[in-house]
């Protein structure tokens, strides 16, 4: 039997076992006593405005900045005990900064247009993923050994947002070391989905996705090396943008990406309203924003749309939920009827190997002898060497400080020694796929592709379908810009969504299409609202 045939057979066996275990886990969970209600809907008017509109009203002295910040603090205090999204607050400092904004506007007759240009988010609250430095706030990345680490300075993107006038409220939960798509760790616990607390919020920027969706924040800062912005944005029904590689500075994050991995990490905006995507992106990117054409008008009729409903059938990944396929088809129907465009269905064969390609590219820095830090090194955080199998035994005994996913990744790293020959083949496949997609998309193409094969799963279920993040991860190693766009709710009241993918430095295409679709499909849906 050939090696590819054996690998496929093992993958299919693992998939069958995973389905059985998922069914058993669901059965066990169904017997538990759980309150599955969503968070109460946001009803205060100030909570239901985009950041750009809040900033306009503050500039025009229509509303006090202190009142805006206080309203968000009240909302967080109402919903955070339910969802556990914000893990450290700076409310007193935020209120002082809000008062300074009000004093500035009362004392000086500054030109409104100049204010809009220099401080476009004056007085607008935002939150930050805990793995990204916010001065005076924890910066553990969910690692127990770092639970007392406090950021001494702001990350570059936080500095940029503060210079634009925005006011940070605190930091939000993530997965341990940002390498898992359920936001749960042994420092802060588990974050729960605002639409149904029995469901996950995604990771690693899961706390950000949750607090924004629950109307506890207008917008936030996330980072993405395999889908860590887009998966939480999808599961929580908000907007998230992974920019073209290299546009937004990644400085001030833990863990820091090194070697080739640094080329795949992207920091980007997460927000409830599509109106904030481009203004946030401009602020976060700083001078690099000149490399993209964000102010160029986009005519939907002139965009070439392509669609893929699934990855082609990888045996490692779950099948795409039917409701997600139907949502994608409704989107296609809308584009064809409303604009007369012909959405071309494509089958890109190499997408079936997304997980293998991403894995090969992530370990390529080790294979090429470049600067490399293993996941075990990150878990150790400069301390005693971690032995994952021993750590697993400790976990069973309840004495390990690490989560099962982190330990599992360490074990996989130990067992799966880098196969240089296979890596070279997969890296070549990655390059060819990048060329194929770039040629297909050109300067006016957008690919419609699922954000994830499953609608927000129940807690712990990702452990039995660990590779599903490949639907987002492939675009990190390809360096393409991607916007996650909400498409309403499922029959169970959980968010649906789609990835809008464009060619390098054509971020404006997917961002403008997302803005248009907000009015057509409703955008963010208020959790708990009828």
Residues annotated as catalytic are 129, 204, 228
Q: DSSP characters for 38-77?
A: PPPPP-SGGGGS-HHHHHHHHHTTSS-HHHHHHHHHHHHH
* Cα 147 to Cα 306: distance, rounded to the nearest angstrom: 45
Question: 489 pairs with which residues across the strands?
Answer: 495
The structure tokens listed for 166 are: 């925005």
Instruction: Report which of 264, 442, 474, 230 is spatially closest to residue 350, judged by C-alpha positions.
Output: 474
The structure tokens listed for 490 are: 């499922």
Phi and psi (nearest 5°) for 222?
-125, 170
The structure tokens listed for 346 are: 């494509």
Distant-in-sequence, close-in-space partners of 481: CB < 8 Å, separation ≥ 6:
241, 242, 243, 244, 501, 502, 504, 505, 506, 507, 510
Distant-in-sequence, close-in-space partners of 423: CB < 8 Å, separation ≥ 6:
360, 363, 364, 367
Number of H helices, E strands in the chain: 18, 13
Pairing label, strands 167-172, 125-129: parallel
The structure tokens listed for 296 are: 């160029």
Q: Are 494 and 456 in contact (CB under 8 A)?
A: yes
Angle, helices 354-362 vs 420-441, to 10°: value is 120
Q: Are 154 and 251 in contact (CB under 8 A)?
A: no
């Amino acid at each position: 039997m050939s090696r590819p045939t054996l690998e496929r057979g093992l993958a299919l066996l693992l998939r069958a076992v995973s389905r059985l275990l998922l069914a058993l886990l669901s059965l066990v969970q169904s017997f538990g006593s759980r309150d599955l209600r969503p968070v109460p809907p946001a009803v205060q008017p100030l909570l239901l405005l985009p950041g750009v509109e809040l900033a306009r009203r503050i500039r025009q002295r229509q509303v006090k900045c202190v009142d805006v910040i206080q309203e968000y603090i009240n909302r967080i205090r109402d919903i955070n005990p339910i969802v556990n999204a914000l893990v450290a607050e700076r409310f007193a400092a935020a209120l002082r900064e809000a008062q300074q904004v009000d004093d500035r506007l009362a004392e000086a007759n500054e030109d409104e247009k100049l204010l809009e240009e220099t401080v476009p988010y004056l007085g607008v609250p935002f939150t930050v993923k805990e793995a990204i430095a916010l001065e005076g706030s924890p910066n553990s990345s969910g690692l127990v050994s770092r639970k007392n680490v406090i950021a001494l300075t702001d990350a570059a993107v936080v500095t940029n947002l503060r210079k634009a006038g925005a006011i940070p409220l605190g930091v939000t939960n993530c997965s341990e070391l940002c390498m898992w798509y359920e936001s749960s760790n042994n420092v802060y616990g588990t974050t729960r989905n605002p639409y149904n607390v029995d469901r996950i919020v995604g990771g690693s920027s899961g706390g950000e996705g949750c607090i924004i969706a629950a109307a506890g924040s207008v917008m936030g800062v996330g980072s993405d090396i395999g889908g860590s912005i887009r998966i939480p944005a999808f599961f929580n029904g908000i907007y998230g943008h992974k920019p073209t590689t290299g546009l937004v500075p990644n400085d001030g994050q833990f863990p820091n990406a090194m070697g080739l991995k640094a080329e795949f990490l992207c920091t980007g905006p997460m927000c409830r309203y599509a109106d904030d995507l481009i203004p946030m992106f401009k602020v976060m990117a700083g001078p690099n924003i000149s490399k993209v054409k964000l102010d160029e008008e986009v005519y939907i009729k002139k965009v070439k749309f392509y669609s893929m409903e699934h990855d082609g059938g990888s045996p490692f990944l779950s099948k795409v939920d039917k409701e997600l396929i139907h949502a994608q088809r409704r989107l296609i129907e809308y584009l064809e009827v409303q604009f007369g465009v012909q959405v071309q269905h494509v089958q890109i064969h190499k997408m079936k190997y997304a997980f293998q390609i991403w894995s090969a590219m992530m370990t390529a820095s080790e294979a090429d002898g470049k600067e490399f830090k293993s996941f075990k090194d990150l878990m150790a955080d400069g301390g005693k060497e971690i032995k994952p199998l021993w750590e697993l035994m400790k976990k069973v005994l309840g004495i390990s400080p690490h989560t099962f996913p982190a330990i599992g990744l360490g074990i996989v790293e130990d067992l799966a020694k880098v196969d240089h020959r296979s890596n070279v083949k997969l890296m070549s496949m990655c390059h060819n796929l990048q060329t194929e997609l770039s040629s297909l998309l050109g300067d006016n193409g957008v690919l419609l592709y699922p954000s994830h094969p499953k609608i927000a799963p129940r807690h712990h279920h990702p452990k039995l379908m660990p590779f599903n993040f490949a639907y987002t991860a492939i675009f990190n190693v390809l360096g393409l810009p991607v916007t996650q766009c909400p498409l309403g709710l499922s029959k169970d009241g959980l968010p649906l969504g789609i990835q809008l993918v464009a060619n390098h430095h054509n971020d404006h295409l997917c961002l403008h299409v997302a803005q248009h679709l907000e009015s057509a499909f409703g955008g963010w849906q208020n959790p708990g609202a009828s």
